Structure 1
Amino acid sequence: MMYYYHYPYPPYPQPPAYPGYYLYPPVTRQYPQVDVNIFTKSIKSYRLLMDQGSILLDRLGDEDFDVKLMSFAQQGNKTEIDKLIKTIGLKVPVETKYTPTGITFELTAHPDPSSPVSCCTLSVHMKWGN
């Protein structure tokens, strides 16, 4: 035989009897004026990175260059890879990382020559093996 107990209150909290009982007035926040100067400089710097990336890709389209690059990578000779990349004559610093399956070039730009902090990075990932 089952017994049902009747409690004088519901088991879960009920919503307030009238709307707005638990509502507080909205908090209005004051935000500073938007300044797009840094963003504009970053866009100009990124355009430079895109141009430099295009120069890099054009050079990587040369089969003799690719054979040298992949041979140095296979030997684990990062110094020679860095020298080879410098022969391209890019105007931005390039960090090269490679594995047996691919290579990554990270081109970085500074929006302001007096600022040591990089604003933008263009990463080019390419597969060259299985």
Structure 2
Amino acid sequence: MYYYHPGSYHPIYPRYYPGIRQQTPVDSNILYQSANVSKKLMKEASIVLDRLAQSKEFDSKLMYAAQISDINEVKRLIHSTGVTSDVDVYYNPDGLRLEFKSNVEALDCCKLTITLRWR
């Protein structure tokens, strides 16, 4: 049997006990903006993935630059695909990680990470 004690929280019917938990009004503006910015990041990630999937020559250049630790060339190659977003590039002998980032209202809001293996 379940007994109600004043001041306790009822997990199934919290609305019947006003004053127990007050919620602040929601403002979905930043979430809305974040979703739209994330869609842009996904489009840009798709551009890079399309290029990697279509050109073995491009892939070889990228892998060679990473192998000799030429980070500037790796970033240049990634941006040569037409990407305008901020992209952090990480690589190791096993693969490549691209982190697409953006801000909304000066807040670090959105990240999209793509991890690819090359060995």
TM range (shorter): 0.7 to 0.9
SS at match of 1:70: helix
SS at match of 1:109: strand
- Structure 2 match to 1:83: 76
Instruction: Choose which of 58, 64, 70 in structure 1 pairs with 2:57.
Output: 64
Q: TM-score, normalised by structure 2?
A: 0.81
Name the structure where helix makes up a greater proportion of residues: 2
Q: Tell me how far apart the structure 2 counterparts of residues 118 and 127 of structure 1 sit (CA, whole Å).
A: 27
1:40-83 deviation line (CA, Å, top 9, x unaligned): 00110111011111101011121111000000111111111111
Q: Tell me how far apart the structure 1 counterparts of residues 99 and 83 of structure 2 sit (CA, whole Å).
A: 12
5+ unaligned residues in a row in structure 2: which ranges? 10-19
Q: Tell me how far apart the structure 2 counterparts of residues 105 and 34 of structure 1 sit (CA, whole Å).
A: 33
Q: Tell me how far apart the structure 2 counterparts of residues 106 and 63 of structure 1 sit (CA, whole Å).
A: 22
- Structure 1 match to 2:88: 95
Instruction: Choose which of 25, 30, 38 in structure 2 pairs with 1:38.
Output: 30
Same amino acid, percent of matched pairs: 33
Letter in 1 for 2:94: T
5+ unaligned residues in a row in structure 1: which ranges? 1-18
Q: Tell me how far apart the structure 1 counterparts of residues 79 and 47 of structure 2 sit (CA, whole Å).
A: 12
Residue 128 (str. 1) matches residue 118 (str. 2): yes
The offset of 1:24, in angstroms, is 4.7
- Structure 2 match to 1:109: 102
Letter in 2 for 1:83: R
Matched residues, number:
106
| Displaced runs of 4 or more, over 4 A | none
> How well do the aligned residues superpose, as a CA RMSD in angstroms?
1.7
Q: Tell me how far apart the structure 2 counterparts of residues 80 and 42 of structure 1 sit (CA, whole Å).
A: 30
